[in-house]
Structure 1
Amino acid sequence: MAAVDNGGLFEVIVVGGGIMGSCAAYAAASRPGARVLLLEQFDLLHHRGSSHGESRGIRATYPQARYPPMVRLAARLWDDAQRDAGYSVLTPTPQLDMGPRGDPDLRAAIENGGAAEVASGSTSWPWSGVFRLPEGWTAATSELGGVITATKAVAMFQSLAVKHGAVLRDRMEVVDVAKQGEGLIVVKTSSGEEFHGTKCIITVGAWASKLVKSVAGVDLPVQPLHTLICYWKVRPGREHELTPEAGFPTFCCYGDTCIYSTPSMEFPGLIKVCMHGGAPCDPDWRDWCATGDALVDPVARWIDELMPGHVDTAGGPVIRQSCMYSMTPDVDFIIDFVGGEFGKDVVVGAGFSGHGFKMGPDVGRVLAEMAMDGEARTAAEAGAEVRHFRIGRFKGIPEKNLPENEINS
């Protein structure tokens, strides 16, 4: 089939319209005169990937020192994008981290994130009336927290990309990315349409391994996991206490089970409390009912023990929403040039491992700068180191996730 006239040559073609691709398209289109195309294989704002839903959290308390500078840069870029859009998608809240006092990840997160640890045995810290910490546990509070309305955020970056001149096309499944002469990339879709550009950014989430292997022969150790978002009923009389308006935080619990939550916000009278993890899946052949009990029962026990009298676990969560993680063996991102015959003309962002959404604006900026300039200038200026995220770090590592990243249903 002959190539469809796309109105000329695009400077950047972004493949994948989730949070990372939408942010990359916005960052690229913000360059004066840049012609940018964003292709999405499903409908825009679909629910089949990893960027949909009501909420994501933001926090700078990370055990890995490489992430707090990225989160702080992201917070600034979230503000910039919201000003550009004229509306908000991020509600600031405090952040609370808790867990066994000697847990090394918690200790590192407190230090790296600049959190303030509460005094041992104190009952005067905020939310001490909500949480009952087990003996030997501690908690720490920090100011950089918040709730991002996920689907609305993706829509915001897509509309901003269009505002700055980008072209968005959905129902465009990309099946091939190829070199066509010096400095020219051709992107082919399953419908036979072709689009031409000088640079390409691949951000297809759980489909990253399949696509990159197909077009470049490069193995990305990215394992999709099916995970579950759970909303629980707040007990009568406690509804306002757990809201952002009352100052309730986003929170994360360390230890044997990683539990995370956002305040009661999306659905009045419900609060999201979830377990980090999931079961391996194929994004094209998912069992939408998988991992239910494995991702629900531990959360119910945690709520009953640590939030007694505040959340009703009888009968399980009121709402269950399916989602996917794209996990790497070390739970860190992949941000790199594909290399080979593509050199620096094709960049991939993948493997965001269930914690990348909050950093979408700076990851998108990094991908756009790598594609258009050959280097990530903004990240370096903000003290965020992205060299760690290169594909080459996985050489010699078996192409499967670590056991702690998987929960067998």
Structure 2
Amino acid sequence: MEYSGEQFDVIVIGAGIMGSCAAYQMAKRGQKVALLEQFDFLHPLGSSHGESRTIRTTYPEDYYSDMVIESSRLWEEAEAEIGYKVYTKTQHFDMGPTNNKSLQCVIESCKSNSLPYSVLDHHQVFEQFKGKFELPENWVGVLTPLGGVIKPTKAVSMFQTLAIQRGAVLRDKTVVIDIKKDNEKGGVCVFTSNGSMFFGKKCIVTVGAWMQKLVKAVSGLVLPIQPLHTTICYWRVKEDHQVEFKVDSGFPTFASYDEPYIYGTPSFEFPGLIKIAVHGGYPCDPDNRTWTSTVIEDSVYSWIEQRFSGRIESSRPVFTQSCMYSMTPDGDFVIDFLGGEFGSDIVVAGGFSGHGFKMGPVVGRILADLVVNGKAQDAELRNFRLSRFEDNPKGNVKEFEEQVNSYVDSL
């Protein structure tokens, strides 16, 4: 195969949080890296923009906690290197009915992973938070010290800057239309819509909601990754209570393990407002979105009024923002070699299912390991393999169903 394009050790396609972290990690290891983005850098059209994401170690699945702990350390290392902060620490608070299977698995995961946590009944929750949270009698709360808020657009910019500082080449408005294996030279050739061609010994694909489209075009393989349009809502804190809901006052990030699954952050990015959103959305084509906001169920309004003791204006959100999930059937990531004719020359990372942003730094490290060493150090990727869908289209079998299937009602 003849080519005249630029040559790199690694080409990373997709400059959201995962691709930017991967490019940084590869450049840090002395690799010649190209990071390609189909839109402008830091665009608001995918899943890596906006004003806040949460970080927490509490997962029903055992295999995420260690990843979050390592990612928390890597967030701080990157902040020290760049010289500014994108990660603000606070506690994390989970809540839900005592018999909720997902929440019970969270507690068991805390035990098995030796994570510090406290289980509080509804009286203790009221005392702990001085009435800011109020739970029904048959609910419990789980309080853990490792939580926080990450500034996503600022964080993506941070990793892109660090990658550039270490020699990476960044190109935006570069739409990848095909990837071909170079059978003579080895490696791959990446072709773009503007006629450019890049040669790479290896390639990492981290294109978020466009993963299914690109992988199918390149290999014919259809990955079970469904783009979902989701809506983020901001609600006004009543004037006499605005200080107590601020992250500086120690208010936690939080999640409610019930129907619907609700999560949120302290008052942080917009003064006097708090983010409260529902996990889920409706299927969309990332190239032809309607941009219609997700319908807010009546149960959300009543949840806000009841859980926050009337301290939040629950009649309607002040404003909303659009984002996308890339949802797998089991809610778990896809991190694997593409295989087929490409073998280990292409690594795919996607399906982060609305909870992956916090783990961008550790996913970037894992992708760099796979490219350089052929395997990931100190990371078990069995639950993220493509092969898990071959025997079971639903993927990993779990002890619980509530959280994984919480978005189905919106489909």
Q: Tell me which interval the TM-score lies in, with the shorter structure as reference length.
A: over 0.9
What residue number does 1:109 align with?
106
Alignment map for 1:82-161 (pairs within 5 Å)? 82-113=79-110, 114=115, 115-119=117-121, 121-122=123-124, 125-161=127-163
Is 1:242 aligned with 2:237? no
Alignment map for 1:6-405 (pairs within 5 Å)? 6=6, 9-32=7-30, 34-113=31-110, 114=115, 115-119=117-121, 121-122=123-124, 125-180=127-182, 181-294=184-297, 297-314=298-315, 316-377=316-377, 380=378, 384-398=379-393, 404-405=406-407
Mean alpha-carbon deviation: is it higher for 388-397 or for 114-123? 114-123
Counterpart of 2:344, as a letter, is: K
Task: Structure 2: state its 5+ residue gaps.
Answer: 396-400
Deviations along 1:231-265, one digit per CA (max 9) or x if unpaired, are 00110111110011111000111022111010000
Query: C-alpha distance in 2, partners of 1:164/1:122?
Result: 50
Cα RMSD, aligned residues only: 1.8
Q: 1:90 to 1:258 in 2, by over 3 A?
A: same
Cα deviation, residue 298, structure 1? 3.3
The alignment partner of 1:311 has SS state of coil
Counterpart of 1:201, as a letter, is: I
Q: How many residues align?
A: 397
Deviations along 1:32-55, one digit per CA (max 9) or x if unpaired, are 3x1000000000000110010000
Counterpart of 1:386, as a letter, is: L
Deviations along 1:108-132, one digit per CA (max 9) or x if unpaired, are 2123233211256336642141111
Counterpart of 2:119, as a letter, is: E
Cα deviation, residue 396, structure 1? 4.2
Cα deviation, residue 219, structure 1? 1.7
- In 2, are the aligned partners of 1:110 and 1:116 still within 8 Å (CA)? no
Counterpart of 1:393, as a letter, is: R
Mean alpha-carbon deviation: is it higher for 20-29 or for 104-113? 104-113
What residue number does 2:398 align with?
none
- In 1, are the aligned partners of 2:122 and 2:135 still within 8 Å (CA)? no
Q: 1:107 to 1:128 in 2, by over 3 A?
A: farther
The alignment partner of 1:367 has SS state of helix
- In 2, are the aligned partners of 1:53 and 1:150 still within 8 Å (CA)? yes
Query: C-alpha distance in 1, partners of 2:296/2:88?
Result: 31
Moved over 6 A (4+): 399-402
TM-score (ref. length: structure 1): 0.93
- In 2, are the aligned partners of 1:4 and 1:193 still within 8 Å (CA)? no
Deviations along 1:5-45, one digit per CA (max 9) or x if unpaired, are 53xx200000000000000000001013x100000000000
- In 2, are the aligned partners of 1:185 and 1:197 still within 8 Å (CA)? yes
- In 1, are the aligned partners of 2:5 and 2:196 still within 8 Å (CA)? no
| Identity %, equivalent residues | 52
- In 2, are the aligned partners of 1:279 and 1:290 still within 8 Å (CA)? no
Query: C-alpha distance in 1, partners of 2:128/2:151?
Result: 25
Task: Structure 1: state its 5+ residue gaps.
Answer: none
Q: 1:248 to 1:404 in 2, by over 3 A?
A: closer
Cα deviation, residue 398, structure 1? 4.4
Counterpart of 1:356, as a letter, is: G
What residue number does 1:406 align with?
408
Mean alpha-carbon deviation: is it higher for 200-209 or for 367-376? 367-376
- In 1, are the aligned partners of 2:133 and 2:309 still within 8 Å (CA)? yes
